[in-house]
Structure 1
Amino acid sequence: MAHASSSSPFRRTSLPFISSNAPFSRHRTSPPSSIKSNSRASSFFLPNTIQEEDMGEDVQADVLFPRFQAKNEDDQLDFAAFGHMVDEHARKQSAGTVRLSRTLSRHSQLYGDPHKHVQAEFEGVARYQVYSSRAVGTPVQSLEQLLNEKGKEALESVLSTTGWWVDALCPTEEEMRVLSKTFHIHPLTTEDILAQEPREKVEPFPNYTFVCFRAFDIDPYSDQVLPYNFYILIFKAGLLTFHFRQSVYPVRVRERTEQLKEFIDVTPDWMNYALIDAVTDGFAPVIQQIEMEAVSIDELSLVLRQSERVDMLKRISRCRRRTTQLARLLSSKLDVLKSLMKRYEDRSRDTLMTDTDLASAEIPIDSSNKRVFSDVLLYLGDIQDHVVTMVQNVNHYDRIFHRAHTNYIAQVNLEMNQVYATTNMVMNRLTFLATVFMPLTLVTGLWGMNVHVPGQDYLDLNYFFWLLAGLVLYCISCGYFGKKSDLL
């Protein structure tokens, strides 16, 4: 295969869905190696016949470094490279190699080193689970470290069979480099795993199919949704998974496999289905809680009194945030399931065409692969139905919360309008009373001045009572007018 030159930047393009047995379709835009040996300027003036001949020889060229081509069944895994890297790692550990510390970036200096936090979090935890459905006795081997003799023996004892599963929790960069070399993992896949790519997708490669599926946990202290990804590599003989948060789903799948392996043919495709099914079933309890909250809020949003609706808005906001998070996690799963179903449909169709050719040549037919693909296709269809139902339920509950929120806001506005009306009525009364008493204040102020005023020369109280009677008559008249005008 032709390698791309250092001056040619690699561009990551979208993949059309193909089966894992089909040729890989990430084409490069650089010319073949026979043409790239010349200068860039002279490559545009080569005859078209030479270019067409070279392109015909390597029309499926891509950006694999190096491109993997399995020669036989035993060429799927590189145990020699794994053993060499384990020995090299042991030599460095025993020799006490001093590694120079690199200067932290500005972001790491401000917010801390995330890799150091992850390594400290999983220190002393069995981060690798090596499982074999064909094993007798203890099917699971737990390993804290992979790059040692125990990890080498565990992998060699399990990967030599079919139906194996290696589950890696928070692998380091060195461990990913060793696993990529051993399992012939594409650099783009390694990059997605180390960068914890959040987008759910399905990407077929020459020797495996890469599936990124998103799960979540609920923080018991803050009650927040904590999403994380499962990176699943489906090989012909086994399964390789990566995740960066401790999860109960792999344990449940292994227990389910142990219960059913006597009755079904456990294949990597079936284990991939079982893991996706376990992750999808993890949404059901949360959605059930949301359903109970939706029914409760819908019934109480209009009947609670003002003193009992203190936390109603908080409950509605919390539930709407939860439904939005679940809808975001569920929406992309339909595309992943459709891609997987399309892959198995293509493989089942290819198997059917191969069986037809064998039947025409009177060669015995092995229908086990076709049955496995058909069964997994049915299982994935069942998961797709569950996801569609969950999405519909979440959208329905979100509409219920939206209606309850609208009703709550409308009732609050109605009560505020009533308060405003009461306030306006009190202010009108106060204004009317102030208007009534202003003339009284004026009259009493005039007759209270320290000057000669009318009636001052009268020694009896007749003048005073006449003035007081006039003020009382004025107040009675104003009160009658206020009652008639609804100002009081």
Structure 2
Amino acid sequence: MKPQAPSRFSYFSSQTQSVETSPTFDGLLASSAVKLPLSEEERQPNGDVWWLDVYDATEEDVNAVSDAFNIHPLTTEDVTLREKREKVELFRTYYFISFRILVSDAEAAGCPSSAEFYILVFYNGAVTFSPQGCVHVDRVRARIRKLQDPAMLSSDWICYALIDDIVDSFEPFMRAASLEAEAIEDQVFIARVDDAKLLIPRVDSLRKKITHLIHCLSGKGDVLNGFVKRCKAKDKHPVFPEGDLLMYLGDVQDHLVTTMSNLSHFDEIVGRSQANCLAHLSATNLRMSLNINKVISKVSVLATIFVPMHLVTALWGMNVEVPGQETHGLAWFFGIFGVLMAFMVLFVFVSGRLKLL
């Protein structure tokens, strides 16, 4: 059985402003400082806003929380099976939001990985299931403690703060992608052949990272749009927040649209840089190919000139009669050598006139 972390269950109350932790759900319930509203009557608005977070939950943990809060089996199944589709669903006593987040333990690797984050919002509290490497819970709790008006805290506000922090967590990766895209764009036209070959893996890695970020953000727009429409509906569900939260959700939508448009722009820059880099390599390879063909053509002309001379010398190297072999002196030798040299000079001159050399 998988060993449990020291404090995977954490409970936050707006009245105490403190966090109680426990390795098990039963241990959390046994704590005198924890007053979880396990019945439906206790979960009605009463002034105290509570928040239960389950970190890296196992199937047993999900089932225990589901039994305690009377969570719908479909929600339990989604959390247990780590449903990847981002969505917002309505149930009788709560609404359920599924989001994909970037986990912090993958930042050092350069390309962040994603995980599932689940939010269940009741009338006066929230239950969240956070994955390993998630930092959003601690950030939102710190943000709650800094609220100037504690009266504005509600379960819906906790949901908004989590969504806002999740969307804002893409900002550092977007800035890093921006700097990398600009650096690649500047190096494309001044890079040498060896440098251009090194740029291609960088471009591929950056495009993969940007595509992954866009994929993680693309589903959130539909979830927020559906969330806002249901909040605006005249016959909206009783568990949905009042209109005051729409202003905050609109701010999250603005951040999301800005981040998506910036990532799309950076993807276009990287795509253009990749095309320019490949075009630069193609032009360089074409020039090298033309130079090689030019050299090979000259070598071929010289080989054509020297082939007859090799034929003659090879013929005389065999057991055949050589002209003038019975004559004393070097007249025949220099005569034959002069004819061969004259033949070579003539054809070199003709090749030069025909611009073959």
TM-score of the superposition, structure 1-length normalised? 0.67
CA contact (8 A) 2:103 2:133 kept: no
Map of 2:19 onto structure 1: 140
| CA distance in structure 1 between the aligned counterparts of 2:84 and 2:320, rounded to whole angstroms | 92
Matches within 5 A, 1:68-467: 116=1, 119-120=2-3, 123-135=4-16, 138-148=17-27, 151=30, 153-156=32-35, 162-218=48-104, 219-260=106-147, 262=149, 264-346=151-233, 349=234, 373-467=242-336
Closer, same or farther in 2 for the Cα pair 1:271/1:443, shift >3 Å? Answer: same
Residue 357 of structure 2 is aligned to residue 476 of structure 1 = no
| CA distance in structure 1 between the aligned counterparts of 2:301 and 2:197, rounded to whole angstroms | 37
Deviation per CA, 1:426-445, whole angstroms, max 9, x where unpaired? 21122111111111112223
| CA distance in structure 2 between the aligned counterparts of 1:134 and 1:402, rounded to whole angstroms | 53
- Which amino acid is 1:195 matched to? L
Closer, same or farther in 2 for the Cα pair 1:247/1:446, shift >3 Å? Answer: closer
Q: How many residues align?
A: 348
- Which amino acid is 1:337 matched to? L
SS in 2 for 1:444: helix
| CA distance in structure 2 between the aligned counterparts of 1:324 and 1:309, rounded to whole angstroms | 22
SS in 2 for 1:212: strand
| CA distance in structure 2 between the aligned counterparts of 1:186 and 1:149, rounded to whole angstroms | 22
After superposing the two structures, state which structure 1 stretch, 209-218 or 300-309, moved more: 300-309
Q: Which runs of 5+ in 2 are unaligned?
A: none
**Once the 2 structures are TM-superposed, how far is the Cα of residue 246 of structure 1 from its aligned partner?**
3.3
| CA distance in structure 1 between the aligned counterparts of 2:146 and 2:228, rounded to whole angstroms | 25
Closer, same or farther in 2 for the Cα pair 1:129/1:396, shift >3 Å? Answer: same
- Which amino acid is 1:309 matched to? A
| CA distance in structure 2 between the aligned counterparts of 1:246 and 1:438, rounded to whole angstroms | 75
Deviation per CA, 1:66-85, whole angstroms, max 9, x where unpaired? xxxxxxxxxxxxxxxxxxxx
Closer, same or farther in 2 for the Cα pair 1:200/1:227, shift >3 Å? Answer: same
Deviation per CA, 1:362-421, whole angstroms, max 9, x where unpaired? xxxxxxx99x72221011111111111111111111111111111111111111111211
Map of 1:6 onto structure 2: none
Percentage identity across paired residues of the two chains: 34
Closer, same or farther in 2 for the Cα pair 1:246/1:217, shift >3 Å? Answer: closer
CA contact (8 A) 1:180 1:186 kept: yes
| CA distance in structure 2 between the aligned counterparts of 1:220 and 1:390, rounded to whole angstroms | 18
| CA distance in structure 2 between the aligned counterparts of 1:299 and 1:152, rounded to whole angstroms | 60
Closer, same or farther in 2 for the Cα pair 1:239/1:462, shift >3 Å? Answer: same
- Which amino acid is 2:166 matched to? V
Closer, same or farther in 2 for the Cα pair 1:188/1:163, shift >3 Å? Answer: same
CA contact (8 A) 2:53 2:128 kept: yes
Closer, same or farther in 2 for the Cα pair 1:230/1:445, shift >3 Å? Answer: closer
| CA distance in structure 2 between the aligned counterparts of 1:151 and 1:229, rounded to whole angstroms | 29
- Which amino acid is 1:417 matched to? L
Map of 1:9 onto structure 2: none
SS in 1 for 2:189: coil
Map of 1:41 onto structure 2: none
Q: Which runs of 5+ in 1 are unaligned?
A: 1-115, 355-368
CA contact (8 A) 1:130 1:142 kept: yes
CA contact (8 A) 2:20 2:34 kept: no
| CA distance in structure 1 between the aligned counterparts of 2:317 and 2:70, rounded to whole angstroms | 108
Map of 1:24 onto structure 2: none
Deviation per CA, 1:42-75, whole angstroms, max 9, x where unpaired? xxxxxxxxxxxxxxxxxxxxxxxxxxxxxxxxxx
Structural RMSD (CA): 2.2
CA contact (8 A) 1:297 1:404 kept: yes
SS in 2 for 1:291: helix
Deviation per CA, 1:104-145, whole angstroms, max 9, x where unpaired? xxxxxxxxxxxx5xx33xx3431111011122xx52111121
CA contact (8 A) 1:287 1:394 kept: yes
- Which amino acid is 2:49 matched to? G
Deviation per CA, 1:331-383, whole angstroms, max 9, x where unpaired? 1001110111112212xx459xx9xxxxxxxxxxxxxx99x722210111111
| CA distance in structure 1 between the aligned counterparts of 2:307 and 2:28, rounded to whole angstroms | 102
SS in 2 for 1:329: helix
Closer, same or farther in 2 for the Cα pair 1:149/1:377, shift >3 Å? Answer: closer
- Which amino acid is 1:374 matched to? G
| CA distance in structure 1 between the aligned counterparts of 2:136 and 2:30, rounded to whole angstroms | 23
| CA distance in structure 2 between the aligned counterparts of 1:422 and 1:283, rounded to whole angstroms | 49
**Once the 2 structures are TM-superposed, how far is the Cα of residue 481 of structure 1 from its aligned partner?**
1.4
CA contact (8 A) 1:147 1:175 kept: no
**Once the 2 structures are TM-superposed, how far is the Cα of residue 265 of structure 1 from its aligned partner?**
1.5
CA contact (8 A) 1:145 1:151 kept: no
